[in-house]
């Protein structure tokens, strides 16, 4: 039995499609939107639409940006000879919060997972290898999550990059197995970065 009109139900349904949003949260968000002033709702909707239209992948590191190059890749004071490979933009943001890493990044937008049918061609590995053949890189730090998928991706990357002569290291295991980088505190991330090992 429907409790709400079709417009409210459709709004709740759209919110429930977002990751991590259950039925109750979707309902709460829908009613919040309905109670907002009309101008704020229009600004909110326009901001979503504009972000979807203008945000794209950085030409070098594949993070999300609205420029050809993201602010990190376009910063000449960053160490462009050290690339940290992360699974997603949230992981990049987690390391940036430490304020200690001075290199640049490469965002894979996923990890290899045969169980889910995600292979090397489904993530941004080709772009990384093109970048390594084009730019003078001394070290690649693999900072994928400590999950089965993250470890699989790290080993695959290591085997792919080592023959090029570039140093390949892995963040230390201060990051708990099964833990997502975006939820780990800065001190643990720093210890993991400082304790990285060659692969």
Q: Kindly indicate the confidence band of residue 40, based on its pLDDT and cuts at 50, 70 and 90.
A: very high
What pLDDT sits at residue 33?
93
33 with 118, same domain?
no
Q: Is residue 145 part of a domain?
A: yes
128 with 36, same domain?
no
Number of separate domains in the chain: 2
Residue 45's domain spans which residues? 6-54
CATH number of the domain residue 46 falls in: 1.10.8.420
Mean model confidence pLDDT for the chain: 88
* pLDDT per residue as tens digits for the range 1-23: 467 778 899 999 999 999 999 98
Q: Contact at 8 Å (CB) between 95 and 193? A: yes
* Of 198 and 38, more confident: 38
* pLDDT per residue as tens digits for the range 132-189: 999 899 999 999 987 888 888 999 999 999 999 999 998 876 556 566 777 776 766 7
Place of tokens 């590995």: 125
Specify the pTM.
0.76
Q: Is residue 67 part of a domain?
A: no
50 with 79, same domain?
no
* pLDDT at residue 89 is higher than 90: yes
Mean pLDDT of 116-133: 92
User: What's the CA gap between 76 and 189, in Å, rounded?
Assistant: 24
List, in order, residues 6 or more apart from 147 with CB less than 8 Å away.
111, 177, 178
47 with 84, same domain?
no
* pLDDT at residue 86 is higher than 60: yes
User: What's the CA gap between 195 and 171, in Å, rounded?
Assistant: 7
Identify the bridge partners of residue 107 per DSSP, sorted by sequence position. Answer: 86
What pLDDT sits at residue 145?
87
What pLDDT sits at residue 110?
93
What pLDDT sits at residue 177?
58
108 with 155, same domain?
yes
Sort 3 into a burial class: Cβ within 10 Å, 0-12 / 13-18 / 19+. exposed
Q: Is residue 59 part of a domain?
A: no
The alpha carbon of residue 133 and the mean position of all alpha carbons in its chain are separated, in whole angstroms, by 23
Q: Is residue 33 part of a domain?
A: yes
């Amino acid at each position: 039995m429907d409790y709400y009109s079709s417009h409210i139900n459709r709004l709740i349904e759209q919110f429930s499609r977002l990751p991590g949003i259950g039925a109750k949260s979707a309902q709460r968000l829908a009613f919040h939107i309905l109670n907002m002033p009309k101008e704020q709702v229009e600004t909110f909707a326009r901001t979503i639409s504009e972000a979807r239209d203008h945000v794209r992948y950085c030409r070098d590191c594949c993070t999300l940006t609205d420029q050809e190059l993201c602010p990190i890749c376009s910063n000449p004071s960053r160490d462009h000879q050290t690339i940290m490979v992360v699974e997603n933009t949230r992981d990049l943001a987690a390391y940036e919060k430490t304020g200690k890493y001075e290199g640049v990044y490469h965002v894979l937008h996923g990890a290899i997972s045969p169980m889910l049918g995600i292979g090397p061609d489904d993530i941004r590995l080709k772009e990384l290898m093109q970048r390594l053949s084009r730019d003078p890189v001394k070290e690649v730090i693999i900072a994928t999550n400590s999950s089965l998928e993250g470890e699989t991706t790290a080993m695959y990357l290591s085997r792919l990059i080592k023959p090029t002569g570039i140093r390949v290291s892995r963040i230390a295991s201060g990051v708990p197995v099964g833990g997502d980088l975006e939820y780990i505190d800065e001190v643990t991330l720093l210890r993991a970065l400082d304790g990285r090992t060659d692969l």
